[in-house]
Structure 1
Amino acid sequence: MSGTLALASTIAEMDRDALRALVARRRPQAAGTIADPIGLAAELLRSDSITRAIVPLERNQLSALLRFAAAPRSCAPDELQPLTALGLIGRESEQLLPLDEVTETVRDALISAGIEPDSLTAVGATPDAVTASHTSGATPAPEPTPRATAAVPHQAPDTSTWYSPALTAVGQAAESLRVLTLRPGKLNRNGTVAVASLRSLAEATSIDVDSVSRIVTALGHAGLTTPRSDEQLLLVSAAAGDWLAQDNRDRWLTLARATLAAIPAPLNIALTAADGDLAGAAAAIPHRFPLLPPAELAAATAFTAVAEQLGLTVSGVLSAPADRLIADDPAAAGELVARDTPGLAPGVYVQPDLSVVVPGPLAPADEATLSAISRPEQIGVASTRRISEASLAEGLEQGVTPDAARALFGRISLTGIPQPLEYLLASRAERIGDLVVDEHDGDVGRTRITVSRSDLAQTLLVDRALQHLQLTRPAPAPNAPVAMGTPIRLYSRLRADHVVSALTDARYHPTTSAALSGAGRAPGTRGASPAHTLDTAAIPIVDVSAAPQATQLTEAYSTLVERVYLAARAEPGTGEFTRRLELAMRDRSPVYVTAEARGQVRTFTLLPVSVTSGRLRATDQVAGVERTLPVNMITAVEPV
């Protein structure tokens, strides 16, 4: 009872903002049934609720809770204030009180983590210097090794090479977005991207799977992809088109700002004492946050890997532009990016083996067209791509005709158009329209394949690689005239996209009517969502000196805050006696109630029934009658 009353007193003293912050951080589960400070206090003192609250606490905060429980006067007010705001400390008669339920849960959690609770309260122990004392049978966690000590002069690491991974990551992100535009990723039921989709994306972009996973994470932070949970798909967002239209410098700044804004809270806090050493901060987290679950430790480690790949860090240390972004100085970060990264490349080198060497960034429009008609072999500051019949066929699907491809290379190729490429473009131009696949609404099948030549149609019908398509050719109507050069139509009961994939795999290079009608338009626009401008200034810069901001409350939690706030200030529900009576009513337990009137003092053993309009209605457990007492006459309420 005492813990509930003490915490209810703390809650009753909170203003609306403090109460909102408390509810946002603790997230009581029974929000709809809580009506007053007593109800909220009882919910927050549940063992599982306390455990959720203490898991993200730092070592020094856990130490403060234990020291306060052992000796309330041993803690300074500034140590207790954030813990009080978190609902882990009670109050009685203007005095802060430890809560037994909290103390017990903290000790149990530390022991379960292999840490001796008394080691956190040892004389002379400091938050950063105390060493965990582990119980028998547990394996001690290694302490983080500092990169510099007082005995060794600190030498700033060289992060000047940040631009190389940064430009590589931008190229990988652009390529991944273009592939996802054509082939959305699959999501698992928990919302993560399926491994099969990551492997498919890695194969299409020539990026290893781990790097692709980190790039997809960065794209998600920047809002360039969006999950569609109902269909379990990862789609490209409307903002992706605007991002792809930017130059590489602006693309990187967008990814960098969004990624830094998504830094995990424990890593954010640890970075304040790490002097820009993000990897060192991550290594210090297990010691600084001893109760943090493995999933959150893994999230911090994963973030450092994403930061390293994006060039936000070099060997774990923040690069100069990332340091300026964290310091909320985007102008300085932009100047550093402009200084350290190359401008547009003068062109590309097309080799006779149909490989294309891209020595640096291209104009966004040229990059998009080249990406549509070639496949990446290596993406970096300088990239290599390859042109093939299959890639030209895919380019046609995106609206790039052989003539448009020839015009592109005529403009940007520093080696001209080699004869093998000219032959490939001419051959592809001659075959445009030979094999056109469309959806069909009829009894003969779901897909129609229009073939320009009878010999090609006959080859398709007997090709064993296409047997699963079950291609059919309806017999012509009796006596129907057949004109010379009339296209031949075949049908399949499979979907059009399946037929296109099967024909492509069999090296027939089909196209669609939509691609033919859209030939010449900008690549990557097919099926795109309506575009909107991605305002990078709206992406918050993380402030490593600030505590994590409270999450926006749902309507249910906002209503809860208002109910508790008003109940704490309603007549007569603001006094300690009233809260004791309310708790007795909740527990259906009798209490000793002392009342004074006209100089006479009497004590009753009562089972409270209600407290309304400033009066207590209760059943007298001794006399067996119902009594009504004015609350302002009550001088004491004690448990039986």
Structure 2
Amino acid sequence: MAVPSRSLADDIRRRTDDELVGLVLARPDLARPAPADLTGLAARASTKASVQRAVEALDRGQLQVLEALVVAGDDASRESVRRLLGVAKRDEPRVRSTIDDLWRAALLWRSDGTHHVVRTVPEVLGRSIAGLGSPVRELRPSPGSDLSAIEDPQALADLLAAAPPTARAVLDKMAWGPPLGVLPTSGPGQTAVRWLLEHHLLVTVSVDRVALPREVGLALRGGRLHRHAELDAPELPARTVPSVDALAGGAASELLTQIDEVAEAWGAEAPRVLRAGGVSVRDLRRTSELLDADTARTGFLVELMYAAHLLADDGEVVPVWAPTPELDDWSSSEAGHRWATLASAWLRMTRAPHLVGHRTPGASGVANALGPDIQWPPVRAIRRDVLAELEGLPRGSAPTAEDVTRRLLWRRPLRSGAVLGEAVAAVLREAEWLGMTGRGALSDPGRTLLVPVHPSSATRVPHQGDSATPGLETAAAAMSAQLPQPVDHVLLQADLTAVAPGPLVGSLAAFMRLAADVESRGGATVYRFTNESVRRALDAGWSAAHLLDTLRRSSRTPVPQPLEYLVSDVARRHGRTRVGGGAAYIRSDDEATLEAMLAARDLAPLLLRRIAPTVLVSQANPAVVTDALHDAGFAPVTESPDGSVVVAETRRRRARTRRTAAVAVSPVDEPYTRSLVTGLRAAEEAADARRVEEEQREGPHIPVTDPVVTLALLRDAAADRHGVWIGVTDRHGGRTRELIHPRRIEGGQVRATDAAGHEKSYSIHRITGATLDPTTPAVE
């Protein structure tokens, strides 16, 4: 006959290899770093930090069952759990399967058909479980109080039935929580509370506070923990939308175009890095105006570029945000691959662009794009959960943000509803901008990008450039089929505009950005030619003839006469005035133009002075003079010392790519976990053999254990009043063996009694290892 398990460690040792693999896959933190043996695995599984992670991963149904097991105590059975949940007999299989899930996750251990909650679970859940207070004995009423009427269900029911109406009204208000109340100082409430205190239906916990005992709360609720048991996930209603992939392709095309425009603008004039990190509100607003987009979308774009390593702090003495060399390789790749790179970076990033412009906890002001306050690692898990919900729906199905939030609150009930709702709405909005979704439904390219790992995890995000993950290349091919094909022409119109009927090929797109300004975006982009845009092209070295010739070759319609006049007029005035070094000189054959400059009030700071009929001089820098003349409406060009025109080339600034060194870490997947379990089983068997040999020679074997394992074992021994053999080092490095009975562990010290009954104190850092004394019986 098998000896029943006495602890979680015993339970884990008796699990099969498949069950151990399932445990580690469900709680991967147990494998990092790898424990020495199964005893170490069990000790780590019972630590508060690990249990906290496991509890946070529970859905609402699992959490409710776990709470019922904690309230039921050590004698918990499926029937008692079912009664506490208030579910019908037909729901017992669902309760049973949920208890099995909790056991597989090592939040429970079994012994003789009963279930025992791991000791640290109540600490993680807190004192008020499901809105109930502590048991009446733990509330410590006055000494000598007769609590039999509270602890006996029938006597408690009779007492509640005999309660005065005012007293019963007080109890009904506290029945569903919170279990704490304030003592009234006068009125009928004071009399009612006095009666409740006299009959121990309420217990004072401070000078002005009272608590409702758990037994009373359960009786008032009819023996149920919750108003409604929610063992199953709520339905996720969704509407059917058409043309999902086409809309996703259009959004992806617009995203790629805007990324190119940000890279072009920031490569020419990179914004400064703020002292606290990030980009200033003014620079972000200027970029928003360039893109004709709101700051929320612009913040998303620059954060996405940063996550994809296309943008970085250049690390100079006066640092700026500049494109990286990787941008050039990315820009030259196929459009579908460019999109897949960005989408993969979005799925991996731990930054939350929706926080840009909002106040974050601990920040002195609003969060800036690319700043440290945008870092929020939980957003990556929220993206994964949202996309997993969309992936589970039929193709073309789009739920609302509210329904997705309600579903995720069931899956992760310990999350804040307000924070989660805001994050879900942001994730759905960003997925739409990115082309992962179309009209709220997951697109086929987005679905392809999500690569499953194993049944216990939702999705895995492929790493950029990882050839071992086919999801990236497959998603790139899927999006390429949906992206609008680039066009190599525009349609020039008589109102000085040009219409691009689709995304332009690279060289034509760069030319149009130089010679014209974007007026509107959409399926077709409208560009407008102005004096400033034509002058910008001439400043870059284009001649009027070359400019008009390029427009003729690139347009399916003739060059309108107004556009020819505009180019010719700007070119006629362009370069008429020349600026050179001196400090600076201005020369022009048109004396009237020089007279206008001397009379211009805006140019007074330049302190212009005529030294010849066709020459002016200034003490200002030539670049400053040129900019001032541009601002005043003149069209000068800069000339070199030999009199030739200097072409103002756009400087393309590039920042060095800064990445943290990659650390090769094996993923906690099934092959790794099976190898780990095989090693743990072998280590346990070897430890058992050494233990038997050492016990025969000199007593129980004391292994060298991890401090976390040692603390967990000592706490369990103190709770069970179990003897423990420990190895202790003295000041000289010598090691001794002692049998102790731990009483209290706090402040890095263990208070215990030794084998002779003397009370001693041991420093945790001097204990090299510990093992339970096999001769000490467990206390039931």
| Fold equivalence (TM over 0.5) | yes
SS at match of 1:507: coil
Change (3 A) 1:164 1:571: closer
- Does the aligned pair in 1 maintain the 2:404–2:424 contact within 8 Å? no
Cα drift, residue 463 of structure 1: 2.8
Match of 2:508 among 353, 366, 371: 366
Q: Which whole-Å CA distance do the structure 1 matches of 2:646 and 2:57 have between them?
A: 54
- For residues 262-303 of structure 1, the C-alpha deviation after alignment (integer angstroms, 9 at most, x for no partner) is 473124124434435475535533443333244454233212
Is 2:344 aligned against 1:257? Answer: yes
Instruction: Check the 8 A contact 2:30/2:45 in 1, yes or no.
Output: no
Match of 2:208 in 1: none
Distance 1:50 1:466, change over 3 A: farther
How far is the alpha carbon of 1:373 from its aligned partner?
Answer: 1.8
Question: What letter corresponds to residue 751 of structure 2 in structure 1?
Answer: P
1:437-586 alignment runs, 5 A limit: 449-453=584-588, 456=593, 459-460=596-597, 462-466=599-603, 470-473=605-608, 488-491=617-620, 503-509=629-635, 519=647, 526-529=652-655, 567-568=705-706, 576=714, 577=724, 584=745, 586=747
Contact 2:108 2:117 in 1 (8 A): yes
Query: What aligned pairs does 1:286-301 form with structure 2 within 5 A after superposition?
Result: 286-293=409-416, 294-301=418-425
Q: Does 1:76 align with 2:99?
A: yes
Q: CA separation in 2, counterparts of 1:177 and 1:246?
A: 15
Q: Deviations over 1:409-468 (max 9, x none)?
A: 132122233333334334444523735488x9xxxxxxx55423365555445433345x
- Measured in 1, the distance between the counterparts of 2:328 and 2:514 equals 15
State the 1:96 CA deviation. 5.9
* Closer, same or farther: CA 419–572 of 1 in aligned 2, 3 Å: closer
Structure 1 residues 267 and 587: alpha-carbon distance in aligned structure 2, compared to 1, 3 A threshold: same
3-state SS in 2 of match to 1:235? strand
Q: 2:125 aligns with which of 84, 91, 103?
A: 103
Q: CA deviation at 1:23?
A: 9.3
Aligned-pair CA distance for 1:79: 2.8
SS of residue in 1 equivalent to 2:486: coil
How many Å separate the matches in 2 of 1:357 and 1:196?
30
For 1:370-381, what aligned pairs fall within 5 Å after superposition?
370-381=512-523
Distance 1:503 1:10 in 2: 84
State which drifts further: 371-380 or 240-249. Answer: 240-249
For structure 1, which runs of at least 5 residues remain unmatched after alignment? Answer: 1-5, 27-35, 130-143, 149-154, 441-447, 476-481, 533-537, 548-564, 596-601, 617-630
Alpha-carbon separation, structure 2, partners of 1:64 and 1:458 = 89
Q: 1:590 aligns with which of 751, 762, 769?
A: 751
For residue 318 of structure 1, report the CA deviation from its aligned partner. Answer: 1.0
Q: Does 1:323 align with 2:447?
A: yes
Give RMSD over aligned pairs.
5.6
Contact kept, 8 Å, 2:495 with 2:562, in 1: the verdict is: yes
Secondary structure of the residue aligned to 1:384 is: strand
Letter in 2 for 1:146: P
The offset of 1:372, in angstroms, is 1.5
2:125 maps to a residue whose letter is T
Cα pair distance change 1:398/1:41, threshold 3 Å: farther
Q: Return 5+ residue gaps in structure 2 as ranges.
A: 1-6, 14-19, 34-39, 79-97, 134-175, 180-217, 219-223, 350-378, 452-469, 671-702, 715-723, 727-740
Q: Check the 8 A contact 1:353/1:420 in 2, yes or no.
A: yes
After superposition, what is the alpha-carbon deviation per residue over 1:39-94, rounded to whole angstroms, capped at 9, x for unaligned? 9999x759xx9989866764345435424423466663543555x5xxx88999x9
For residues 76 and 525 of structure 1, the distance between their equivalents in structure 2, rounded to whole angstroms, comes to: 65
In 1, Cα distance between the equivalents of 2:544 and 2:10? 77
The alpha carbon displacement at 1:376 in A equals: 0.5
What is the letter of the counterpart of residue 753 of structure 2?
Y
Query: Percent identity between the aligned chains?
Result: 22
Match among 241, 246, 257 for residue 161 of structure 1? 246
| Residue in 1 that maps onto 2:322 | 235
Rounded Cα–Cα distance in structure 2 between residues aligned with 1:605 and 1:317: 67
From the superposition, tell whether residues 70 and 399 of structure 1 become closer, same or farther in structure 2 (CA, over 3 Å). farther
Q: Does structure 2 conserve the Cα–Cα contact (< 8 Å) formed by 1:372 and 1:400?
A: no
2:433 is the alignment partner of 1:309:
yes
Shift of 1:227: 4.8
TM-score by length of 2: 0.54
Q: How many residues align?
A: 524
Does 2:575 correspond to 1:432? yes
1:207 to 285, 288, 293: 293
Length-normalised TM-score, structure 1 = 0.64
Determine the structure 2 residue equivalent to 1:125: 230
Distance 1:604 1:184 in 2: 73
Match of 1:353 among 495, 500, 515: 495
Distance 1:66 1:416, change over 3 A: same
SS of 1:592 mapped into structure 2: strand
Q: Does 1:218 align with 2:218?
A: no
1:79-135 Cα offsets, whole Å, 9 max, x none, are 3555x5xxx88999x976132321217849999xx9989987678531424xxxxxx
Determine if contact 1:38/1:582 at 8 Å carries over to the other structure: no
Give the conservation status (yes or no) of the 8 Å contact 2:335–2:480: no
* Amino acid across the alignment from 2:652: R
Q: Which residue of 1 aligns with 2:266?
A: 180
Equivalent-residue separation in structure 2 for 1:11 and 1:528 (angstroms)? 56
Could you say which residue in structure 2 is the equivalent of 1:138? none
Residue 391 of structure 1 deviates from its aligned partner by 1.5
8 A Cα contact 1:172 1:379, kept in partner:
no
Aligned to 1:284: 407
- Which one has a bigger Cα radius of gyration? 2
Greater relative contact order structure (CA < 8 Å, 6+ sep): 1
| Aligned residue among 363, 377, 385 for 1:269 | 385
| In 2, Cα distance between equivalents of 1:502 and 1:9 | 83
Deviation at 1:364, TM superposition (A): 0.6
Conserved? CA contact 2:314–2:321, under 8 Å: yes
Distance 2:746 2:523 in 1: 71
Change (3 A) 1:286 1:380: same
Matches of 1:24 and 1:500 in 2, distance apart? 66
